[in-house]
Amino acid sequence: MMESRPEITPETLTKWQYLVDQISEIADVPATLIMHTSDQHNNVCVKSTGDENPYIEGQSFLLHDKLYCFDVLENDAELCVEDAAHDPHWHDNPDMEYGMSFYVGLPLKWPDGSVFGTICMLDRFRNKRALSFRNGLRQFSRIVEDDLAMLEEIEQRRKAEACLQQELNSREEIIKKRTQDLEDANTALRVLLKGVENSKSEVEDRIVQQIRGLVLPHIGRLHQLIADDDRAIVHLDIVETNLKNITSTFTCKLAQALVELTPTEAEIVQLIAQGRSTKEIAKTLSRGTSTVDFHRNNIRQKLGLTHRGKNLRQHLAALS
């Protein structure tokens, strides 16, 4: 499959038009042509201006061995025919129909060496001035080939940019999809967390209802049964208070603080929270007041109440 070639831009054609006009003026020939070879045809791509130029832009010639340009392309070299009318090989070539018996032509190539076409000077008689300008024509042919190389490079860059843009678009689609997947996952996670919270609330509600309905009524009955036992009543009050705290909140800071205390310290903390004095606590626990004071000091240190001005009971009330 033949590689696709970039189109010749209007700017390039304008430049080539200037080139062929300069060649015709310098070499004093009526016709200078840049020919483009395609599908076994040689087509007039750019022609010098002037009334004496018989060729028409876009005009096409079938390539065969009697055509000047065919010889240039076939041999990949310059062809110089000084007078075709007196040359047995060229006297019947198609350009003789326009009286063009003088010809100097060179091949034009793309950067990879494949054929673009030819550049040539034609006249109706042997033109000494054009013959002396053959080296100049080579220089102009190089300018045309440099333009072809530039067009090729621009096209390659355009294709590279198009591929890069396609890759960027593809990556943007991937990122967009992954972002949507993350959003969907976050939505699902939020729904799951909400379900967990709802389940937690339902469990807490059931516990609260069971404590209030199945436990607290019996505590009231126990109060009546042990009305004469002050120590038992104190402990029962603690149980009732703690159960009520559980039913009011499951994140009680006081309950969290009790985890750091010993069982005896935890018991004293709950009695202090109820407003019991040191003597009352000592009587309830069958301990000396000095022992209670010792535990109170330990409790203050564990709760961070190193400053004597801070009231332990007030601090415990704030945690409840």
Per-residue pLDDT tens for 106-123? 999 999 999 999 999 999
Per-residue pLDDT tens for 27-61? 999 999 999 998 889 999 999 999 999 999 999 99
Could you give the percent of the chain with pLDDT greater than 90? 55
Residues 6+ positions from 252 with CB-CB distance below 8 Å: 245, 246, 319, 320
Residues 6+ positions from 141 with CB-CB distance below 8 Å: 106, 107, 108, 119
Question: Which alpha helices (H) appear in 87-133, and where do they start and end?
Answer: 128-132
Distance of CA 86 to the CA centre of its chain: 71
Q: What pLDDT was estimated at residue 85? A: 93
- The tokens for 4 are 């696709």
Question: Does the pLDDT of residue 250 top 50, yes or no?
Answer: no
DSSP code per residue over 242-269: HHHHHHH-SS-HHHHHHTTS-HHHHHHH
**What single letter denotes the amino acid at residue 70?**
F
Q: Which fold has domain 226-319?
A: Arc Repressor Mutant, subunit A (1.10.10)
Counting Cα atoms < 13 Å in the Cβ hemisphere of 270 gives 23
- The tokens for 46 are 């750019």
d(CA 313, CA 320): 11
Per-residue pLDDT tens for 52-104? 999 999 999 999 999 999 999 999 999 999 999 999 999 999 999 999 999 99
Q: Is the separation of the CB atoms in 257 and 224 below 8 Å?
A: no
Q: What pLDDT was estimated at residue 10? A: 95
Considering only residues 229 and 88, tell me which one the structure prediction assigns the higher pLDDT. Answer: 88
CATH class of 10-155: alpha beta
Annotated domain spans of the chain: 10-155, 226-319
Question: Does the pLDDT of residue 304 top 50, yes or no?
Answer: yes
**Strands 79-81, 60-62: parallel, antiparallel or unpaired by DSSP?**
unpaired
Q: What pLDDT was estimated at residue 1? A: 41
